[in-house]
Structures are given as C-alpha cells and as structure tokens.
Structure 1
Amino acid sequence: MAGQGKISARQKMINLMYLVFIAIMAMTVAPEVLSAFGLMEEKFEKANEVTTDMNAKLLANLKTKGKENPKEFAAAGVKAEQVSIASDKFYRFIEEQKKDIIRMGGYEVDEVTGRLPFEKMKKGDKLDEKWFTGDRLTKEGDKVINAIKQYKKEIKDILGVDQFYNKFIENFEKKFDISEVKDSEGVTKQWLDYHFKGFPSIASYTKLTAIQNDVKVTQADLNNLFLGNAAVEATSLDKYKAIVLADKSAFFAGEKFQGRVVIGKYANVPPTALEVNGKKYDVSKVIDSTGAARLDFNVGNVGEHTIEGKFTFLENGKELEIPIIDANYVVVPKPNSATISADKMNVVYRGVSNPMTISFAGVPDNKVKASASGLSGSNGKYVMKPQSGREVTINVTGTLDDGSPVRDSKLFRIKDLPKPLGSFNGQQGNAKLPRNNVEIGKISADFGDDFDFKLPLNVVSFTMKVPGKPSVNCTGNRLNSSAKSALRSARRGDLVQFINIKAKAQGSSIRIKTVTPVVIELAN
C-alpha cells in the first residue's frame, strides 16, 4: 500500500490479505446494488443542481435587499457571500476526490447517456490505497478530514456568537459529524474508515455527492436565515396574486379584450358592512374564508351594467369605507346553438357505451332533450350505443325561459372496435419464455392502453404452430394435450406461434376481430 514506510513482514501480510478480501467483496457485489448506488448518485446530483440555482437566487435577493435596506440586510448579505465562498471551496475539494475515483478506476462516461458505468465500479482498492495505510490515514486521507474540519470552522466563524444561529449550528454539527463510529461488532473506527474503507467505488462516489448535497443544503438554510422569516413575509411578493380586472365581464365575438392586471392580496379581515347597488348585505352570511363577498342579484336587461357600492371596516375604533370601483358586467342575448361533444373522442364505437355530454349554452340541462338511434340518458349526461350503419345524427332541442324552442344537430361517425392485441402470460408480440412457462401459460386479449373503453375479452380458441409439426387447434385459452405434446418436441430457440386467436366480449354479442398473433421463443 502507498505510504506504508517501514512495516513488519506480518503487517505486510495482513495488508495483502485485506486487499484480497476487498477484491473478493467487489467481485460478489450484485450489479443491481451497484446500479442502485448509481441512480442514487444521479438523484443527489440533480438535487445539487436545483439547490445551486436556488442559492444563487437567494444570494442575489440578499444583495438587492442590502442595497434597498442596508440597515436590515447589508450585514446578512456579507455573511451570505462568505458562506458561499467557503461552501464553494469545500464543494470543489469533494469534486476533486470524485474525479480521482473516476481517474484511478479508469472509468469513462457513456457518450450517449452521459452516465457513469455503475455496474463496472465495483473495486474500491484504489481509493483505499489513497486514503488508508493499515489502521491509519495517509496524507491524502488526512486532507479529507482536515477539509471537513476547516469547512465547519469557517461556517461557525462566519456566524460568530449570535444566539440566533444556535439551533442551526446544532444541526450543522450533526450533519458534518466526523467523530469515531462503532461498527455492528462494537469495534471503534475512524469516521473515514467506517464510511469509505472497503466499499465499491460507486458507493464512495455516491457518498461524496451526498456530502456535496449537505453543503448545498447548508448554504440554502443559511441564506434563508439571513433573509429572516419576518423580513421575507414583509417584503416578498409570494403572498400576492396577479388579479385580472377586465373592463367588463363579458365580450362579444370579434371584440378585443380590454382590462388590467394588478398585484394584490385578499384581505382576510371581516368587514362590518357591505352595500352593492343600494342593497345592504348581511356580512355574516356572504363573506367566505378568504375575506371575499359573494353577491347575488338579477343581472337585468341586455347591455352593459356598472356595480357600485362599498365595504366598511373597523380600524383603530373608526369606520373605514372602501369603495367598489372599476366593476361592471355585460348581459348578452341567450344562445341559439347546442354544444355536443363526445367525452372520450370525436367518433363513437360500435358495441360499447360511449359517454356523451349534450347541452345548450345558457339553457338548463333539464330543459334540453337529445334523441338518436342508440342514445339514452338525460340532464346533460347520455350514453350512445350505436349498432348498425356508419353514421349517426344526434338531434337536440332546448326550451328557453320564454317557452320558445331552439334546435341543433350533429353527425357522428361510427367505428368498429379495433383489432385486439394478443398476449401470452402478459407478453405481447414477440417474447422469450422457458418451455415450462409456455406449457402452463394462457392466451389473453385486450384492446391495449390506447383504447379508452373497458370491454373485457375472453379467448375462446387459437391455433398453435411449432416448427416441423402440424398446427394444433385449441379451445379456450390454454394448451391442450396435443399442443403440449407438440411443444415438448420443439428445440431451444424455436419460435412457437399462436395464431388465429378468437375472442368474445363479456356480456356482449358484438363481433370481435381476430386477435393479433403472439410469437414465443423457447428459452430452453
């Protein structure tokens, strides 16, 4: 090992045995475990990118506030800048350790996916040689520990003795605790030894990325503390909403929208009185949980109308009146055309229940009637079950408040059900299965995820074809004795075909098209 110096022959033998043991461990680590570490590393890396961006914005916010309000935020901005410098320095140091793992292991990033070769990053002996010598740390190992200690010291020096940061420092110490650790056998080990010695390189790489994540989170926590919860609440626009104030609440076709967008907040303060268009409201009944008042009055004749009134609040023992301004609405004529739409698609399918919503704009659903061959339902909700033909026309009649009728109609295309997809033991199209799985498996069929209707299908018959053998017809959805006999004569790698698959819909006599075939390659 590097940095051994003058050691006894016995110690050299122990070190050699340790290297052999680590090599054996690396060879036996499952690829799935290595991939899991890799995926965890990627998640930490993405989190670090997000937190880095957030820290930059928080720091910029502090600088802006420092210029606007030096008394409140200038000192905090300086501290945040110092924390950023210390954190970036330590972050880069950890990044260099990660690069050494890649360099020493000879690993390369995949040019297509941009990923490290997780499943190849088994051995950790190179990092062990760099950081450990026997039971002690090498100079490089000491650098790691000293870097952590230095980062902790710099952060605490920046915060000073201000009691406001006591809780943060307590959590900070726990997050970067490098004291000795007892393993599962009760043996006391150095922190670096316990967490990195003997681990696969991808595990150590991931742990280093996790430390970087702790650095980024530490910086974010401090930036938020420097901003101060009360200050953020008072100065941030986060609690405000963008409110659109239209010049009128209805526009005719062809008109240009006119209005304004303002920033404001809903005042969750109960008023003492509310008056609109000369009518006084009981505030205990019309004010909701957000402080908004719900109005209820007749809109009047066709044309533009103005809403006038005032809110009255009690402030410092005096009544404060807030007038309602820039409030108007437009009453438009009643509609004379229907809205007919299929809930699922623009066509209707034969043999299934097609849900539909049918209404007349401005006409209550209970005063709208729809009729067509295969159509049933009422109050806006209908079901279409087309049977024959290629098209169906839906006629709609609405009754206005004055008793006069309005009518409309729409033509829909009728389509047959699509070709079902065959599957064997859940495998569609081409699959590879062991012979025993094929022998006891079953054929099934469905319309696939792209078909929005639920219509369960039962396979009633199919034909199995084994290379070099006559086709075997089977009833039901499983292999019969003849099919099993033919299957046993097949060889590994043979393609067993399931064709001419017939299915029926449960509870329906609708004709179902022949199911798509399935081809199974025998794995043994």
Structure 2
Amino acid sequence: MAGGKMSARQKMINLMYLVFIAMLAMNMSKEVLSAFGFMNEKLVENNISTIEKNNEAYANLDTKASEQKEKFGPLKVQADKIKTYSNDFYDYLAALKSKMLTEIEDKDDYEAMDKTDWLDTYFFKGDTYTEEGQEFLNRINNYRTNVIEVLGSDSKFVPVLNKRFSTEPVIDSETDKEVPFLKARYEGFPMVASLTNFTQMQADIRNTESDIVTNLLGGKLEEALSLNNYTGIVRLNKSAYFAGEKVTGEVVLGRYDASLVPDKVILNGKDATDAVQNGQVILNMPAGNVGEKTIKGTIFFRENGEEVPVPFESKYSVIAEPSSAVVSADKMNVVYRGLDNPISVSLPGVGANNLKVSAAGGKLTKSGAGYIIRPGSGNVATINVSAKLSSGKTVNSKATFRIKDIPAAMGSVRNQYGTVRMPKSGLANAPINAGLPDFEFDLKIQVKSFKIKVPGELTIIVNGTKLNAAAKKVLSKARRGDIINIYDIKATANGYNLKKVLPVNIELTN
C-alpha cells in the first residue's frame, strides 16, 4: 500500500480499507453496550435508596437542631448548604441525561446507544470545548469547591471530594502524555457509556452527602437521641482463643466518646470501674478452659440526675491449639492447567498474615484474602503451609491437588450446542463460538478457526468466527434439511489453547 505510484482506483480501495479497519476498532459489542445499560440501571436504583437514606439523616438533624439548637444548629446550617449544592448539581446531570436521550425512542434499548456523535458535538468544538462542555467542567469544579468551602480545607473529606470530582488531566497509558479530563472521559465514547458515567457522578453526589451528613456533621444521629439508645459493645482482639491465653479487647459504647466516662462498671458480676480508660472498659483476664464463654455486665451513667444502666453481653469461644492447617480448593479438589485456580488457606486461631504459604507443581501468587495457583506441566500440585503459634510451637501442613486439563469445550451457534436448527441466512451471518456450559470457571473462550462441511462440497477452512466468502459460497449450495458440520474448532480459553472442542451441527430449515 505504501510503495510505488498507485492508480486512483487503488487509492480508493486503500482508503476504504482504512475506513473499514477504523469502523471495526470503534465497534463495541452489543454485550458490552447492554452491560453498561444494566450497570446504569443498578446505579439509578442505588441512587434512589441513597436519597431516601439521606432524607432520613436530614430529618434526624432537623429534629436534633430543634431540640438542641446550640449543639446541632450550626451543623444544620452546613448540612442545608451541602444539600442545596448537591441537589443543584444532581438536577443538572439529570437534565443533561434527558437531553442526551431525547432522540432515543426506547430508553431501555442500550444497544441503540452505540453512537458517539451527540456528546462529541455537544461538548467539543474542534480542539476546544463548546459552552455546554465548559459549563459541565465548571459544574464539577464549583460543586467540589463549594462543598470544601462549607467543610473547611482541613476536613477529612477534602481528599475524597478532590478524587470523586477531579477534572485534572488524565495520563494516556499508551503515550504517557496528559489528556484533558473532558476529552479523556467523554470524547469518542458510546452514548450508553456516557449515560452510565453521568449516573455514577450522581451516585458520587448522593454518597458524598451521605458520608458527610451521617459521619461528619451528625455522626450516627439516630443514636444520639438519648442515653437509653446506647448499647454496650464488647470488642475483642480475636473471636477465638487457645486454652491458657489472655482474652484482650475493650467494652465500648455504640457511639464512642472518650470523654464519656461511666460512674460504675459491673463485669461478670464484679466491679471493674478501675479498668475504664478513655471511655473504654479494658479487658485482661484468663480465657478459661475450652468451650464457649460469656462476657456480660452493665455500664452506669447519670443523666438528668438519674442513674441510667447500659447493659452489654457478648460470647467468645476457647478452642484447643490446632496441629494442622485447613486447606481447601475453592472450585473442588482439582486444579486446572492454564487457569488461575483460587485457593483458600486458613489455620484456626492464626491470622492470615502470620501464615507462610508456598507451592510445588505450580506458580502461587497472593490474591486478596486468598491465593491463586497456576499449575505447571505435572500431574500434582502441593500447597505447603507453616505457622508459628502464640505458644511458640510451629505447625507445618500440606495439601495435594490433582492437575487436569480444561475439559473439552463444545462448539455453539447462537448459544446452542449439539444440533441446531436454523435458516441458511442465519448461519451465514452467525458467529461460531465455543463454551463449557457446566464448567465452574468463568472462561473467556475465543474461537480462532474452524472447518465447515456442506454435503457434497469440499471442506472449507475458516479463520476467525464468521464464515468467509468461500464458506458462504458452498453454503449457498446447501438445501433444506441438510446437516452442516462445523468441526475441528480451534479456540483459546483465557489465553490457553484448548486441546479439544466438540463440533456443532446445523440443520438447515430453508
């Protein structure tokens, strides 16, 4: 395409080829479009729930401000400002979404929202922004600035606001260059992606209100109505202890206040007032013998000249020291070659960070609270666990798992396996896929090639998932009732070459 002098016809062919490639690159699958739509629906539902929660918090604050004006009055003024700023920004985004979807007849048809031209025209004008695009940026910046001004620059919510409502340039992962926020997040994106983005921003607004009003401006307002609503909470450092260990932890109030010191504490029938430190009842006592134990008592306060009792109760278990670790495979007692197999490792009474875990027969990596093992070429993988108990004793254990190849996949058309009845025109345009319907793992199977056999015609090899021109030509000669055989399907699962994919047959209905 790049060498020699080309004719006008060849230049046109080359141009059409480039346009075709660009169209393929921009084309987003219907499944992805639908996924964005479903995500948007969930966000809308969550926003409704959060709004109801926020309204309850505002109502509680109104009640407290009327009862205790000096304490809660200034908080209500702040909350009202944040509510106003939040509603204004939220309603602006709602109007923007409504305007964007004006020409979409079915608002639930997310596959129809694959175009990028609406926002590209509404927000951008060449390399600059339209008035609407600049207004959108201003709305984000103003909301962030106004809320921070209400809270103060030293508020713990300032980093949260700066992150949720940032308009800073975005670093392009390919070029490592800065791209303006508006272009990086909204230019060239399908409408449904921008719709979901706007709804997520609305969720950030309501969550910001909830975080501030519930945790900062009022704390747990519903628990502050009276001392009668307080509940004593036993907070232990561990939920289970070995025989002979000390039980350590604290007894605190539901709304902790270091300055709120009880007049008297009764713990398991004995006076424990001297154990109070910074509003907490410090526990330090023998665990006792193996079995379930109860910690209970009463914390006494004075309110309006009267003694107010606040009872508390909790249970813990004393267990014998273990001699071996407990190891289990999340997907059964087999690990599959070519896949990331999740493994859970635990030792009763020992924290996960105190375990030493290794593997033989595969590569082991940490993943969240568990591990991932990717088996090697052998037939067995072994997980080795060691830990040092609080008594100083070291425990070593291991578990062995069989290594198996991924089972044979099944060829499919229109998510149907075996023999599929369909018209000839449908087969000509339908992609050939593969799957493992009853397999526990979520595999991303990609068909690379297959063979198609039409009765009485030569077998055609097809690269990719859809019939090529040669395949369509032989298919056109097939008649109603013919069985078209799709076989020798080559596919990968999560980048691993599947050893076998069962064929799929198509019985033509016309």
Give the TM-score normalised by structure 1.
0.42
Structure richer in strand, relative to its length: 2
Q: TM-score, normalised by structure 2?
A: 0.43
Which protein has the larger Cα radius of gyration, Structure 1 or Structure 2? 1
